[in-house]
């Protein structure tokens, strides 16, 4: 069942790659300094992380136990905390103050997202609802941040580096939020839909197996008579 779930994500990843191809064009032609940061970590958290997670799980044994509820919620908490912390004014100031800060930001976001997707993908069978809940909760929190960036009446971040002044314009901030609110439903909600379909399929298979098991003893007793 786990392999089937991972295969179902191929469509989702191809769709995300198509959107990110458009984002790459935006990165080169339209995006400002803040939205470029946004494009990079959107690509890392919504395409690279789930792709790496699926590859890692495919290399593991199928008998691997599903991640516990505490592990799943810890992954949600750490990923969300890091995302909001890095998008606070001090966090953005550190990330945009040099290459080291930007690299550290993207690395921590990628690792936290990888752990999150591993925990989600590792929910199988009757535990698939946990992954659905995690995806919908995370997607909602990310979209709330994106909406804040889009509809904020002023620039939320104002900073300047010591040797190279950098400012974020309102249009750049709104565009970054628009990118985020576009990709979040595409990735997290679509992933939740895939898991829901697999969850329902698992329930149907379980009921069919139970009905077949119940029918077998009855058939045996009839033959004995």
Task: Please give the share of the chain, as a percent, with pLDDT higher than 70.
Answer: 69
* pLDDT at residue number 102: 86
DSSP-based three-state secondary structure for 181:
helix
Question: What digits encode the pLDDT tens for the residues 110-152?
Answer: 999 999 999 998 887 777 888 889 999 998 899 899 999 999 8
* pLDDT at residue number 31: 59
Angle value at C-alpha 87, between 85 and 88, nearest 5 degrees: 70
Cα 175 to Cα 11, 26, 74: the distances in Å are 26, 10, 31
* pLDDT at residue number 225: 52
Residue 1 confidence class, pLDDT cut points 50, 70, 90: very low
Task: Cite the DSSP H helix spans in 44-96.
Answer: 49-58, 69-86, 89-95
Residue owning tokens 């999150």: 116
pTM to 2 decimal places: 0.78
Q: Is 150 exposed, middle or buried (0-12, 13-18, 19+ CB in 10 A)?
A: middle
DSSP-based three-state secondary structure for 74:
helix
| DSSP class of 67 | P
Q: If you average pLDDT over every residue of the chain, what do you get?
A: 77
Residue 113 and residue 82 in contact, taking contact as beta carbons nearer than 8 Å: no
Task: Please give the share of the chain, as a percent, with pLDDT higher than 90.
Answer: 19
Q: Which tokens is 131 given?
A: 């992954």
Question: What digits encode the pLDDT tens for the residues 180-196?
Answer: 888 877 788 888 888 88
DSSP-based three-state secondary structure for 225:
coil
Highest mean pLDDT, choosing among 4-13, 35-44, 113-122:
113-122
Q: Domain ranges in the chain? A: 2-200
């Amino acid at each position: 069942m786990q392999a089937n779930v991972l295969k179902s994500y191929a469509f989702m990843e191809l769709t995300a790659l198509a959107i990110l191809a458009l984002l790459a064009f935006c990165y080169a032609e339209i995006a400002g300094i803040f939205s470029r940061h946004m494009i990079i970590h959107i690509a890392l958290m919504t395409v690279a992380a789930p792709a790496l997670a699926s590859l890692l799980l495919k290399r593991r044994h199928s008998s691997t136990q599903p991640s516990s509820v505490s592990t799943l919620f810890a992954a949600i908490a750490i990923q969300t905390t890091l995302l909001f912390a890095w998008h606070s004014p001090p966090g953005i100031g550190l990330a945009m103050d040099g290459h080291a800060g930007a690299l550290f930001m993207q690395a921590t976001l990628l690792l936290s997202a990888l752990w999150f997707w591993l925990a989600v993908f590792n929910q199988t069978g009757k535990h698939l609802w946990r992954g659905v809940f995690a995806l919908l909760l995370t997607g909602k929190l990310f979209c709330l941040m994106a909406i804040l960036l889009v509809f904020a009446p002023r620039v939320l971040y104002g900073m300047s580096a010591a040797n190279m002044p950098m400012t974020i314009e309102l249009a750049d901030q709104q565009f970054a939020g628009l990118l985020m609110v576009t990709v979040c439903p595409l990735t997290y909600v679509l992933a939740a839909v895939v898991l829901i379909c697999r969850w329902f399929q698992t329930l149907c298979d379980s009921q069919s197996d139970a009905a077949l098991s119940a029918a077998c003893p009855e058939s045996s007793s009839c033959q004995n008579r």
